[in-house]
Amino acid sequence: PAWRGGGDGGSVSPVPPVVGVGAVAQPLLRLLAVMLGWSLTLSVSTYGLFAPFALGYGQSQLSATFSAGAACTILVQIALFPRLVAALGEHLAATCGAVAVAVGLGSCSLVHAPLPLHTGLYLLNRAGSGVADTATATLVARSSRGKEQRSRNLGLIQSSRAAARIVTPLVSGELFRRSCAAPKPWSGTLPYHLCAACMLAAASIPLLLRRSEREAEEATEAQLREGTAAAAR
């Protein structure tokens, strides 16, 4: 059905009236954006500490890895993301991306050899980040009502990502330092495993929002049926 109302003077809204978890959709999506920002910190600035320490990488290897990761993210957003959304929808695409980030981060910090496997896990993390980040922005727009609210929420999601880039390098660096004394292969992996655990927990957010949207749709359809039946009597 077409849901009407909101701040556009009777225009079609992207979702029905929110209930339950959907009422706090925007804060939950901002939390997911912060977790994705943290994963990006671990993939770039903290990885610049981890890879020389655990893998013996030099500057040329780091530069090549960062370039490959950025290229992977862009290609996924251009080529894979539209197909994923068409097949699974925005919510499942966001969850799949978040799970890929968690698996990639947690595994690449432990698997150091063979090197192609480590690189593949690192790229899995970057690909998942590209999917989840784009899907999160899509869900922010989808769950906003009216152009003004949509613009505000998209601005807030960008601010959340920026805040993550300010705080997480400090937190990740300290966690990395504290875990360097751990026995191999756990040396330096604490921030990666902590972020992976948080990402797995945050991966449920899009599914909860989808369930809330469906409940809202069912409730509204029931009200419409009752109204039609009452009018018929």
pLDDT at 178 over 80: yes
pLDDT at position 20: 53
pLDDT at position 3: 40
pLDDT at position 136: 95
Which pTM was predicted? Answer: 0.84
Torsion 81-84-88-93 (CA) sign: negative
Mean pLDDT along residues 103-109: 96
Nearest CA among 151, 220, 230 for reference residue 2: 220
pLDDT at 19 over 70: no
Nearest CA among 121, 113, 112 for reference residue 43: 121
Q: How is residue 219 written in tokens?
A: 């409730």
Q: Mapping DSSP to helix (H, G, I), strand (E, B) and coil, where does residue 92 land?
A: helix
pLDDT at 145 over 50: yes
Which region among 10-24, 49-63, 139-153, 176-190 has the lowest average model confidence (pLDDT)?
10-24
